[in-house]
Amino acid sequence: MKTREAIAKRIEELCEQNNITINGLATQAAVPPSTVKNIIYGVSRNPGIVTIKMLCDGLDISIQDFFDSPLFKDLEQEIE
């Protein structure tokens, strides 16, 4: 799995755990819904750390909590 795919899955996982929609997360995080959807659907090839931090703030978690997931343990090599 590539990093951007892991990030998208983690966002979906956290939304499910918190019982909120992608649009609900966007509202809570003060991020445009299109930004979150672009990350989820792979349009955004390189989601920025500032955006991820804003999503974490909307979820009331730390960046460390966001990346503390098995999804990030065995990521593919991204350098080709």
For residue 64, being part of any structural domain is answered with: yes
d(CA 33, CA 25): 8
Q: Which helix (H) or strand (E) holds 4?
A: helix 3-17
Residue 80: pLDDT above 80?
A: no
For residue 79, being part of any structural domain is answered with: no
For residue 73, being part of any structural domain is answered with: no
Domain that holds residue 38: 3-68
- Mean confidence (pLDDT) of the chain: 95
Number of domains into which the chain is organized: 1
Residue 45: pLDDT above 90?
A: no
Residue 23: pLDDT above 90?
A: yes
For 9-18, the pLDDT digits (tens) are 999 999 999 9
Instruction: Give the C-alpha distances (Å, rounded to integers) separating 66 from 7, 21, 22, 63, 73.
Output: 9, 17, 16, 5, 13
Q: Which residue has the tokens 């593919």?
A: 76
State the DSSP code for 80. Answer: -
For residue 50, being part of any structural domain is answered with: yes
